[in-house]
Amino acid sequence: MKSDYWNVPDEQVLEKTGKHIAEWISILDTLKARDKKSNDVVAHLQSEYAVPRYWARTLTTLYLKSGKE
């Protein structure tokens, strides 16, 4: 696996998850994902949005790696 697996194009995220990256960022902001354990965020995306595990992990990592506050 490449070390920057979370750097995926928006078109691919839309195709695999049904939402654009910006939409996922907004969802994760609302969830306050930065304050939660990443495994809990992944589980939430899987259960609440039916995101496949790989993509839930990818989105969570992308979110946490981008815009570190």
Give the pLDDT means over successive 10-residue stretches in the chain (69 positions).
76 96 97 96 98 96 80
Distance (Å, whole) CA 45 – CA 68? 20
Q: Is residue 42 part of a domain?
A: yes
User: Where in the sequence is the domain holding 55, given as residue range(s)?
Assistant: 10-65
Q: Is residue 3 part of a domain?
A: no
How many domains in the chain?
1
Q: Distance from first CA to last CA of the chain, Å, rounded?
A: 27
The pLDDT assigned to 68 comes to 57
Q: Which two tokens mark 5?
A: 């697996």
Residue-level pLDDT at 53: 96
Residue 4 lies in a domain: no
Closest of 60, 52, 54 to residue 24, by C-alpha: 60
Residue-level pLDDT at 7: 86
pTM: 0.87
Cα-flanking dihedrals φ and ψ of residue 45, to 5°? Answer: -60, -40
Percentage with pLDDT > 90 across the chain: 83
